[in-house]
A and B are shown apart, each in its own frame.
Chain A
Amino acid sequence: MTRATSKQQQQGFTLIELLTALGIFLVICGAAFTLLGSSQQRYQTESQVLTSFQEARLGLDQIVRDVNDAGFPPPTFTDGNPTHFASSPFAWSSGSGYAVTRCQIGTAGGGTCTTATDSSPGDFDLIIETNPNPQDPSCAPNCKVQWIRYQLQGTTLMRAMVDKGPTGTDPDVATSPNLAPFVQNVVNNSTAAQIAQYQLTHPGMFPGGNPMPIFSYTCDTPSAPQPQPPPCPGAGADNSPANIRDVMITLIVSAPTPDATTGVPRIVQLSGRGRRVNPNQ
């Protein structure tokens, strides 16, 4: 009896083959990891841009909501206690003269709503006066009106929310100690050199090479009513914080670090508008 079997011949790799394969593998791996690294850097940059963008988006929404509600409740609603009503939809700093001594809005460095320490309302500073939650059971009756302040300090937009003080309280003094970081990496008020650098990659931003105001305003003109409120600095005698109708908000935020692959700063601009609906005071 015979048994017919078939065995396949198994030859090994030669050293040359192995070295060649290893070399090719290393080259491909090197290329792949280089690609992965740059992808990782790009991903991180994009993540940072998105984080800044998202933070700015939330900040913008909050500012718009606060501006929409500014001036609630009007003085005609309550007793003579100024902490129970909004003396003006937008508070300003005038020493102890608030809310009697009105000033002119200080955009583009002008206006008289300016003291040594603040410029509210201005390009980078705004104090909103409203009662965000009048029916809060914890403060019944007569919940206090709040001062909500937004102020740019360096590249951080700060926010403060404090109870409104009695007549004569300076809103600037009351809100300053409570400012807390709100939106970071805000580059609206950059130096001329930084703006020039931003404009290399974003030529449409920072028109004229000037800092971009976060807040710009339109004012009602009770002295000569017009269908559309004009920009406040042109509103003449009506250029008063009490007459602000619209607040246009422009936030330019950057990623904390420049683009890892190209080295250029990544910035995003967001725009929004809040419109006060509550009546003039």
Chain B
Amino acid sequence: MVAASIPTSEGRHITTVNARSTIRKRPSEAGIALLISIFILLLISVVAIALIVASGTETSLAGNYRSATGVYYASLAGLEEARERVLPKDPNSFKNTAPANFLHSPGNTLAIGEVRYVLNPGPTENIANILAAYPDTEYDNEFGGGALAGVVAAGNRMTTASVWNRNPLNSLPVPGPLYKWVRINGITEQSLNLDVFPHDLVIDPKLVYYDGTNLNDTGSGSQVLEITSLAVLPNGSQKLLQYLAAPNPLNLPNFPAAISLAGNSANTLPANSLSYSGPNSASFNVDGADSFHNPFGSCTATATVYTGIGYTNTSDTSQANIKCCQVTGHPNNYLGTGGVKPNVLPVTMPPTLQTPDDYNKLVQAITQNADVILTPGSSTTPAPYTAYGSDLTAATAGMANTNPMTVVINGDLDLNAWNHTGYGLLLVTGNLNYDPDATWEGIVLVIGKGTFTGTKGGAGRFDGATLVAQTVDPGTGAPLASLGPASITFGAGMGGVGFYYSSCWIKNSLPTASYKILSFREISQ
């Protein structure tokens, strides 16, 4: 309180008081409502927090399950994409969509240190950085520390985009599976940490192959590819899955002879007997000894000697029809099992190839896995619907020994003046008219009309195996109840070098139905 003295004329002083600080109104302090309110609020808060924590845990658990399941299937999607795209016949095959040499041509392997990646960046990620953002540590686990760095330094790492980053799927409004990369490489005993066949108790650094039964490091069969996929979800969940896969060839029957004539083995009628007439040429041979003409790759011929001309009908005139004329006139040109000359012997086809229905199933299976299917129609060729060599050339661009094709002709095929070499499996459901200017390395199946003809000259040959069977009436096309009289009718003046059995060419020309999963495992991280 400040007081001021004001002098007056009378000499007195009047004292004033500052009123600002004299009156303070105190709040009422009665009641405990505030305390109770605070306490109840506190109580409710504790209960609410407890409930939130509990529901949060539950949400996390559900989310965890969803993540674990989602990332597993995302990774599996990567494995399946790679397993499909290694097939040459797949529309998105690496052969057509990846850089050259991403996968080597048939018969050649991915060497150790050659690593291939399929990259699948998300919409906001850069494909160039994906391997840096999600490094592949598993490769070094399998091949030793620093192995991947060595691969990169040697320039042996190749990459390609996933189908989700290519036309047309990249324009979809929905994102694809969330795998980041898929690695494809060869494997060794060392990387597997397994002693595969032969069990020499040595863990070799040699490539591992699959021969249809066993893994081996002897080079027998096809190379085993290791496919490894990493998936990462936005929340950080990761999963590494791994396949070992190998080509699964279409299961074709074993061919018992260089030329097999399959008929109704119970037939006794001369009209339904099998027949063969060969050319009168001293240089034309039918040889059942396993050989490998124009060899390539690692395959070597076996020492097995198969039949020259094999026929199934033993109760009719088939033998007489085949073993006559030009055949008996050139016994030394028909070689095969047991040194019998001319080598014309009865053979037995597998139980799965006895009836027309069995052969139709085989035709269907091959057609489903064919690279090229030609169905000559009346619009392009005159009746009776014949495909010509020119049609074959146009349809089989790229066919080579390193790229054998499975070619199906739904009709007749006339190879007159087709001066080329074919590789792979040739299936003709009509008549096959051969001109020895042509050579075919692989399997030739004439199943349907079951007629195989030829009259021209030339120096072509067949290496592999040939099978002729009649399942329909050649005149009407009506299906037969039992196999009919298949025939090979070469004119006496036909040229050519002949038919030679070749297990290597048979193996090389088998259509690959799929890549078989040999094993699967989840890699713990």
| A residues whose Cβ falls under 8 Å from a Cβ of B | 1, 3-6, 8, 13, 21, 25, 28, 32, 35-36, 39, 43, 46-47, 50, 53-54, 57, 61, 65, 68-69, 71-74, 76-80, 84, 130-136, 140-143, 277-279
Contact = CB atoms under 8 A, between A and B. Distances in A.
Interface string B124-142: 0000000000000000011
Interface stretch (B53-61, B304-312, B369-377, B492-500): B53-61
A133 B43 CA distance: 51
Interface in B188-207: 192-197, 199, 201, 203
B195 A78 contact: yes
Contacts of B30: 13
A4 B15 contact: no
Contacts of A77: 192, 194, 196, 214-215, 518-519
Best-surrounded residue of A6, A50, A77, A84 (most CB of chain B within 10 A)? A77
Interface string B497-525: 00000000000000000001111111010
Interface string B213-231: 1110000000000000000
Contacts of B192: 73, 77, 134
B193 to A, nearest CB: 5
A52 B197 CA distance: 48
Nearest to A84: B194
A154 B519 CA distance: 36
B260 to A, nearest CB: 28
A8 B26 contact: yes
Nearest to A43: B50
Interface in B424-478: none
Contacts of B54: 43, 46-47, 50
A80 B215 CA distance: 13
B23 interface: yes
B519 A25 contact: no
A171 B333 CA distance: 62
A57 B521 contact: no
A32 B41 CA distance: 11
Interface in B13-51: 15, 17, 19, 22-23, 25-26, 30-32, 36, 39-40, 43, 46-47, 50
Contacts of B77: none
B64 interface: yes
Contacts, number: 118
Nearest to A29: B39
Contact of A279 (B22, B31, B47, B517): B517
A279 B518 contact: yes
A74 B519 CA distance: 7
A43 B47 CA distance: 9
A43 B52 CA distance: 11
A133 B524 contact: yes
B480 interface: no
Which 10 A-B pairs give the minimum distances between C-beta atoms?
A79-B199, A277-B520, A1-B15, A141-B203, A72-B521, A39-B47, A76-B214, A43-B50, A6-B23, A46-B54
A200 to B, nearest CB: 23
A140 B516 CA distance: 27
B65 interface: yes
B195 A142 contact: yes
Contact of B32 (A25, A72, A79): A25
B57 A141 contact: no
Contacts of B519: 71-74, 77, 278-279
Contacts of A3: 1, 17
A143 B40 contact: no
Interface in B170-190: none
B58 A50 contact: yes
Interface residues of B, number: 49
Contacts of B31: 21
Nearest to A76: B214
Contacts of A61: 65, 68
Best-surrounded residue of A43, A136, A277 (most CB of chain B within 10 A)? A277
Given A134-B192, A277-B517, A68 B213 contact: no
A5 B1 CA distance: 11
Contacts of B17: 3-4
B495 to A, nearest CB: 47
Nearest to B29: A10
A277 B518 CA distance: 9
A146 to B, nearest CB: 13
Nearest to B5: A1
B64 A57 contact: yes
A36 B30 CA distance: 28
A99 B521 CA distance: 22
B213 A76 contact: yes
5 contacts: A74-B519, A130-B521, A135-B141, A141-B203, A278-B521
A28 B36 contact: yes
A36 B46 CA distance: 9
Given A21-B32, A28-B36, A32-B40, A134 B520 contact: no
A115 to B, nearest CB: 31
A141 B194 contact: yes
A278 B520 contact: yes
Contact of A32 (B15, B43, B194): B43
A132 B40 CA distance: 55
Best-surrounded residue of A13, A74, A130 (most CB of chain B within 10 A)? A74
B145 to A, nearest CB: 11
Given A50-B54, A54-B57, 15 more contacts: A1-B3, A3-B1, A6-B22, A25-B32, A32-B40, A35-B43, A43-B54, A47-B54, A53-B58, A53-B61, A54-B61, A69-B522, A77-B215, A130-B521, A135-B142
Best-surrounded residue of A73, A80, A140, A143 (most CB of chain B within 10 A)? A73
Contacts of A74: 518-519
Best-surrounded residue of B22, B31, B521 (most CB of chain A within 10 A)? B521
Nearest to B211: A76
Best-surrounded residue of B26, B520, B524 (most CB of chain A within 10 A)? B520
Contacts of B213: 76
Contact of A140 (B68, B193, B199, B520): B193
B522 A141 contact: no
Nearest to B40: A32
Best-surrounded residue of A47, A72, A78, A130 (most CB of chain B within 10 A)? A78
A25 B31 CA distance: 10
